[in-house]
């Protein structure tokens, strides 16, 4: 079958502006989430280091990682379907592998399926500059019919 | 076999003080997470309504729900093993069922297993005063050997 | 709001016949899966002991438990929407808690949400006659539009 | 830090013999599961087409895919730690993406973490010769202390 065109419909900068509107609470206490890249069926986001993300012991908190994974998958989907549709997270699964140190986190999201009604993707989370994954997530998103 | 005694080792108030130390970032922008009850293999926590938890459209954000589920399971474990041990979240799974309105959220955590090395539990999330679950989570926690 | 009527549309016996058609491979090597009860938003299934389910050490295998959980959730959904629709499993999450001994397994499935397009449920698995859960599962199912 | 040596301790053939002992029920009704490759932190397994794996409609059943994913992760772990240890599956998460046709299935397992007590990995499932993933799984395994 001819493959669907997966060229992103939005640039990283357009995505970032759109996410600012739909996830404003990400920026509570200071802007730290940024869209680094958007590609075919993929997006890379970064969460800068900020003491609001720290847990005692100097590691980045679980909720910070979970928010980054969710928003990175969301960005990858919006990159494909554009800003008009309102995708809704229906499930998320996380495996926490290593404690991330006090530095920026990278979330590499990749869509495994983009159907008419359901998108599924996975996210690898890394501390910036490190090669060992700190957490892995998969998520499913419901895509509204009326687009 | 004789059942293990599951009487909690900590009161709700003791748990809350301990959580303040290990999850201080929960209180960023205003204290909203509270321990309502701790029981045998269980804990109930509440996240009060605050605009920092809101998404556009007037629903409570996913990361707010995820943080509540994680901390409620953590509280149920600490209630059983006491404040000395440092349990670590190893995996979390979420199903988001309904959009919670702009009101307090309740997280009812119940441990399904409390082994020497691994604890597993589930959490039902509700909007306060409502009977329909808004989200369901399961989590696994690694318990350190040296206690 | 007025609650939806959740009286099952199929009896346990009708469900069992229908499952025989759509999951015939469950019965490979001898019939062991049975529908015990179907209720409002729920179903209970049983997997009888058979040596084909055994792992060395005398415990029931993981795939046996996974198949029971999946089919029990499926039965709970069909009980609500009837045998015409073909629901499709979109995700399953399992926590394995204790090793089940060489006896029948019970799967208690409960729907947490039954939407127009998506159903979500959880299953508690027990060894027959025991009170401690051996495994817990959650699952999401896509429900076809044309019904 | 110096990286741990991840050269497998077992060949594909040794692994297959060991799996025959610990998962004999996989071969009920005819041998279909084979170890194709074992590598550093990875293993590839194949499940040959057999009518016992079919669902009506001509697709491969969910339990067949789940068994393949579980055993492929198990093989990847044994490749690293050798046949003496008895790892136990503690959790599995599946996303079902596309219906696999009536052909062999490939399971590519990759370990994300191999700790002293816990191993975590992911598996991509494909129909043989196809490039689109039919299912994705993640799993966690408890590794016994006494090795």
Phi-psi category of residue C16: left, alpha or beta, with phi > 0 → left and psi -120 to 50 → alpha: alpha
Task: Give the pLDDT of residue B37.
Answer: 98
Give the highest mean pLDDT range of B1-15, B90-104, C56-70.
Answer: B90-104
C90 touches A140 (CB < 8 A): yes
Which of C94, C118, C144, C146 has the most A C-beta neighbours within 10 Å, making it the best mutation to test the interface with A?
Answer: C118
> Taking the alpha carbons of B23, B26, B31, B32 in that order, is the dihedral positive or negative?
negative
Q: What is the pLDDT of residues B5-32, one digit of tens each?
A: 899 999 999 999 999 888 888 888 888 9
Distance, CA of B40 to CA of C39 (rounded, Å): 29
Q: Which residues are within 8 A (CB) of D114 and not within 5 positions of it... i.e. 6 or more apart?
A: D4, D41, D77, D80, D81
Task: Give the pLDDT of residue C1.
Answer: 42
D90 touches D142 (CB < 8 A): yes
Q: Cα distance from B17 to chain C (closest Cα, Å)?
A: 30
Q: Compute the residue count for chain D.
A: 147
Nearest CA in chain C to B113: C97
3-state secondary structure of D74: helix
Task: Give the pLDDT of residue D145.
Answer: 73
Q: Which residues are within 8 A (CB) of A35 and not within 5 positions of it... i.e. 6 or more apart?
A: A12, A13, A15, A16, A19, A43, A44, A45, A75
Whether D142 sits inside 8 A of B90 (CB atoms) is no
CA distances from B57 to A109, B66, B68, B101, C118 (A): 26, 19, 21, 9, 22
Helices and strands counted in chain A (H then E):
2, 8
Q: DSSP secondary-structure letter at A104?
A: -
- For residue C93, list chain A residues with Cβ-Cβ distance below 8 A: 93
| Long-range pairs of A28-37 with CB within 8 A, sequence gap ≥ 24 | A28/A52, A28/B28, A28/B29, A28/B52, A29/B28, A29/B29, A33/A67, A33/A68, A33/A71, A35/A75, A36/A12, A36/A106, A37/A12
Closest CA to A60 of A94, A103, A30: A103
Q: What are phi and psi of B81, to 5 degrees?
A: -105, -5
Task: Give the pLDDT of residue C3.
Answer: 62
Q: DSSP secondary-structure letter at A97?
A: -
Distance, CA of D106 to CA of D131 (rounded, Å): 11
Task: Give the pLDDT of residue D1.
Answer: 43
Q: What is the pLDDT of residues C30-46, one digit of tens each?
A: 889 999 999 999 999 99
C93 touches B120 (CB < 8 A): no
Q: Compute the residue count for chain A.
A: 147
Distance, CA of C96 to CA of C113 (rounded, Å): 23
Distance, CA of B16 to CA of B36 (rounded, Å): 9
Region A39-49: what's the mean pLDDT?
A: 97
- pLDDT by residue for chain D (147 residues), tens only, comes to 446 789 999 999 999 999 988 888 888 888 899 999 999 999 999 999 998 888 878 899 999 999 999 999 999 999 999 987 678 999 999 999 999 999 999 999 999 999 989 999 999 999 999 999 999 999 999 998 755
Burial status of residue C57 (CB atoms within 10 A of its CB: 0-12, 13-18, 19 or more): exposed
Task: Give the pLDDT of residue C27.
Answer: 84
Those of residues 43-102 in A touching chain B at CB distance below 8 A are 52-56, 61-64, 66-67, 70, 88-96, 99
Which of D90, D114, D138 has the most A C-beta neighbours within 10 Å, making it the best mutation to test the interface with A?
Answer: D138
Task: Give the pLDDT of residue B52.
Answer: 85
Distance, CA of D125 to CA of A56 (rounded, Å): 39
Region B120-141: what's the mean pLDDT?
A: 97
pLDDT-above-90 percentage for chain A: 75
Q: Cα distance from B97 to chain C (closest Cα, Å)?
A: 6
Alpha helices in C10-61 (DSSP H): 12-22
Nearest CA in chain B to C3: B132
Whether A25 sits inside 8 A of B63 (CB atoms) is yes
A136–chain B Cβ distance below 8 A for any pair: no
Closest CA to A112 of A122, A99, A103: A122
CA distances from D87 to C101, D82, D141 (A): 18, 10, 6
CA distances from B87 to A39, B139, D95, D113 (A): 38, 12, 28, 18
Instruction: Round to the nearest angstrom and report the end-to-end CA distance of chain C.
Output: 24
ipTM score of complex: 0.94
Q: Which chains touch D (3 or more CB pairs under 8 A)?
A: A, B, C
A118–chain D Cβ distance below 8 A for any pair: no
* pTM for this prediction: 0.95
Distance, CA of D136 to CA of D124 (rounded, Å): 5
- Burial readout D52-74 (b: 16 or more C-beta within 10 A, e: otherwise): ebbbeeebbbbbbbbbbbbbbbb
Task: Give the pLDDT of residue C85.
Answer: 64
| Average pLDDT score over chain A | 92
Architecture of domain A12-142: Roll (3.10)
B15 touches B78 (CB < 8 A): yes
A131–chain D Cβ distance below 8 A for any pair: no
């Amino acid at each position: 079958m001819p493959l669907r065109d997966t060229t992103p419909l939005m640039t990283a900068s357009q995505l970032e502006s759109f996410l600012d509107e739909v996830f404003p609470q990400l920026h509570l206490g200071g802007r730290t989430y940024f869209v680094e890249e958007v590609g075919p069926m993929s997006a890379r986001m970064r969460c800068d280091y900020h003491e609001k993300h720290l847990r005692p012991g100097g590691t980045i908190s679980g909720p910070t990682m979970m928010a980054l994974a969710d928003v990175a998958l969301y960005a990858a989907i919006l990159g494909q379907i554009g800003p008009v549709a309102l995708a809704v997270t229906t499930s998320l699964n996380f495996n926490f592998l290593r404690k991330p140190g006090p530095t920026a986190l990278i979330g590499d999201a990749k869509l495994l399926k983009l159907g008419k009604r359901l998108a599924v993707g996975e996210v690898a989370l890394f501390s910036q500059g490190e090669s060992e994954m700190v957490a892995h997530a998969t998520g499913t998103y419901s895509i509204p019919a009326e687009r």
